[in-house]
Amino acid sequence: MKKLLLSALAAVLLVACGKDDNCTQSDFVGVYNVQGKGCLLDSTNVKLTATANGTSDLNMEWEDGSNTLTLDGPLKLTDCTGSLKLVDEPTETDLTMNATLDGNTLKITYTGKFFSTQINCTETFKK
């Protein structure tokens, strides 16, 4: 009886601790809504649409009903994270973007200049 109980307990612990730290492109693809307030679009009703680009990258588009921003260059994915360095001299943009997916929650941190304005902000989105 003790062996059966220990085996059952070990199985429960393995399942509880076996969180999947690997994500695929398809895990990121979808429509997300901002939780709180957006960074790039300063609104509480920002919708982010993530679509596949090739076999392992993402295109992203933010919209708030009045404005739309499209990511110029794909977000490069590695497991459950993605990153992009966006430089555009005419708009005075030199921005680093890092994204992390945890289940249906996507957190994106922006650091640098966005249209000549210094930005250091994190957005949280839910699918």
* pLDDT at residue 73, as a whole number: 78
CA–CA separation, 7 and 94 (whole Å)? 54
- pLDDT greater than 50 at residue 119: yes
Query: Is 14 in a helix, a strand, or coil?
Result: helix
Q: Is 16:9 a contact under the CB 8 Å cutoff?
A: no
* pLDDT at residue 5, as a whole number: 33
pTM for the complete prediction? 0.80
- pLDDT greater than 50 at residue 9: no
What pLDDT, in 10s, does the model give residues 40-76?
A: 999 999 999 999 999 989 999 999 999 999 987 799 9
* pLDDT at residue 68, as a whole number: 95
* pLDDT at residue 8, as a whole number: 35
> 35: which strand partners?
124
* pLDDT at residue 72, as a whole number: 72
Residue given tokens 């003790």 in the structure block: 2
Which of 101, 116, 114 has the alpha carbon at shortest distance from 38? 114
Section 99-104 average pLDDT: 96
* pLDDT at residue 29, as a whole number: 96
Tokens of 19: 């969180």
